[in-house]
Structures are given as C-alpha cells and as structure tokens.
Amino acid sequence: MSSKSLNNAIPIFLVLGSLYLFDNPSLSLAGLVLIILSLALLVLNVVREAAKFSLPLVLVLGLIVLGNAAALAVDTSPAAMRIFLVQLVVYLFILMVFTAKLDDDFVTMTKNVVLAMGLCLAPFVVLMIAAGGNDAHLRMFNTVFSFVIYKSLLPVYCVSALNNRYVLLKTALFVSLFYLIGERASAVCCIVFAVLYYLHGFIVKSKTISMLLFALFIVVVTAGPFIYVGLDGTALGIQINAISRELTGSNFFSGRNIIWAQSIADILANPIWGNGLNSRLMLGDGTLSLHNTFLTILYQGGMVGYALFISFLALIWKHVVHAAPDNPYARIAFASFGLLLCLGCFEVSLVQNSVNVSLLMWLIIAACSNYEPEETVRRKLL
C-alpha cells in the first residue's frame, strides 16, 4: 500500500474512533483500537519519511511523561494507570502529527471525512432541536452513545472554514446549533475561533503581540476558576447568575463552582508537585471530572507539571503563529488552536471522553499549520 493511502487512512480511523463513545462494549473497543491504529500510521509516516523531530517539543513532552511516570510509581491504582496511558497516547499523537509529513491531499481527506461525520450527527441534532433542544434533551440518546459526541461538531465547524468563505455565516450557524442543543461552551469556542480567524493577520505580524496574547490567555485560564469560585455567593455573583438565567435560561454557576472549589483547596494543599494522576475528583475512579484541562493539569502535577504543560502549549502556539506566509490554511490552524485552548477551559480533553475531539483538532491544527505549497521547501518544525 502506498504511503499516500496509508496517510489518508489516518483521519478515517480517527473519525471512526468516535465509536468509543458508544455504550455498546464492542463498538467502544473498536473505537479505541482505531484511535491506536491512527497513531501507529502516524509513527509509520515519520519513520518512512525520516521526518525530523523538534528537539524542544520532544524535550518538553518527554519531561511531562516522565513526571506522569514518577506519579504512577507512587500510585499504581488502575485509575492512575488508565489516566497515564491515555495521556501517553495523546502526547505521542501530538508529537507524531506535528512531525509527520502531510500534504494537501491529506488536508482534503481530513476535511471530507470530518464533514461526513458531521452529516452522520446531523439527524440526531435535528431530532434534539425538534424535541425542544437545550439541556433537557441533550442526553436523549444516552442509551446509545455519550452526549459528548456532539462536541465532534467543533472539528466539523473548523474544516468547514477551510475554503475561507462565509466564515461569519458558518459561525452563526454552528453557534446557533450548539446553543439550541444546550452546548453553550461549544458555542463560545466557535465565537473564539471566528475572532481569531479575522484577527489573524494583525496578531501574527508582530511577535510581541502574539506572545502577549498567549500570556494573557494563560493568565485568564489560570485565574478564571479561582475567580469563578470566589464569585459564588457574592452580590456580584448573584447578579451575574440572575442575568444568565434571564438571557439563557440556565444558571451561571452550573455546578463547576462546587467541583472547582474542592479541587482548588486540594491544589493549595499540594501546590508544588500536585496530587498525582488519580484522585477522588477524577472521572478515572468513577467520581467527578474537573471539566477544565488547565485545572486538571495543575491538580495532577502542581506548579511544576503546569509549567511544563504551558511550555508545551507555547511551543505549539509559536509554531502555529509562524506558519508559512503563503500557507492558505494558516488562519484555520491559528483559529483552531485558539478553539482547542478555549475548549480546555470547559473540558478535560487529555484524559476523559472528549479525547477523540481533541485528537481531531490536533490533526487539523498540525495538517493546516505544516502545509506548504509544493513549490516551497517544507520548513522545520518550530
């Protein structure tokens, strides 16, 4: 089989990997196997093309994995092992997808299979909206699959913008769909995508502006949960919640305030090294999800683990910002990365059941940011 055929199978396997969100054990297992196969094909691409790894990316991800391994040596529970393995797969996937040599045909194939996935989800979305939509009906197919599968519409939205046409109209459509089915966080992510898409030219023309924006984002996402918890019960918090109920019909304090308050207390108790991979708040042991990637990393690895994770994100940000000037997909890569960072404020996309959505997003970001016209020489990663 040709290398092009093997490469084109990667997005197909990854999209089909969404089967792991189905309740049927056989389908769920098949989805997990397909995700692993997509990673294996990326490894094969790197080996066959003799692609060069980015040393900074290898170093940072290596330190993150070593830190997780050290935490696992202390706690060898099944839940901790599961979280370690899932994060290992995700980090390996990111390393390989940003190292692999992926051409324009790969971008086209990725677009086509992701759009096909969107068409498969469309009937369920229509049925939900027809039934009344919003939170009450978001789980109406829970006996078939996890409602998290609707977040797969986020990569569908991103690839729909690859032709750089009618992006504002498409944004309005997807924001409306997400709002109607009760996915407010996903609607916010689409708005972030659109803002970054249209501001791309202004942001990337200056290294200072781009890095200040990244620094501002990290400050906001780090301080956000602490501020959110602090507002609960205050006069301002009560007023904000009343406005939220009036405008959206839902509480501003959705329950995350309770989970985050407990997690913040535990973080402050072990601020340097964190609380380890497994904890009573993590979904891995059958209790609660933190619903925030950044808070989860801070919870697990403390300030040390968090610094490494932010360093990893900074490397990807730098890579995406400095995509080739003649790259027609540069704006999509940049806006998609912003969307993924925004999603991390609401979901734990490294260890829990939105992992496949994040892998699809990483695939889109890497394929679009690494792309160069055939007449140019592919630039070095990072």
Q: Is the pLDDT of residue 379 over 50?
A: no
Q: Is the pLDDT of residue 381 over 80?
A: no
Amino acid present at 326:
D
345: closest CA among 174, 229, 217? 217
Q: What is the mean pLDDT of the chain?
A: 88
What is the helix (H) or strand (E) element at residue 110, kind and residue range? helix 104-131
38: closest CA among 371, 322, 362? 362
Query: 145 forms bridges with which residues in the sheet?
Result: 22
Give residue 279's pLDDT band: very low, low, confident or very high (50, 70, 90): low
What is the distance in angstroms between the CA of the first residue and the CA of the last residue of the chain? 31
147: closest CA among 58, 262, 302, 23? 23
- The pLDDT, as a whole number, for residue 115 is 96
Instruction: Please give the average per-residue pLDDT across 7-28, as a whole number.
Output: 93
Q: Is the pLDDT of residue 314 over 80?
A: yes
382 vs 374, which has greater pLDDT? 374
φ/ψ (deg, to 5) at 112: -65, -45
Give residue 101's pLDDT band: very low, low, confident or very high (50, 70, 90): confident
* Cβ proximity of 183 and 347 under 8 Å: no
- The pLDDT, as a whole number, for residue 286 is 45
Q: State whether residue 145 is helix, strand or coil.
A: strand
In whole angstroms, give the CA distance from residue 95 to residue 91: 6
Residue extents of the structural domains in the chain: 3-370
Give residue 376's pLDDT band: very low, low, confident or very high (50, 70, 90): low
Q: pLDDT of 144-167, one tens digit each?
A: 888 888 999 999 999 999 988 899
The rounded Cα 346 to chain-centroid distance in angstroms is: 10
Give residue 271's pLDDT band: very low, low, confident or very high (50, 70, 90): very high
- The pLDDT, as a whole number, for residue 35 is 94
Q: Is the pLDDT of residue 8 over 80?
A: yes
Q: Is the pLDDT of residue 49 over 90?
A: no
Looking at the chain, the whole-number percentage of residues with pLDDT higher than 70 is: 92
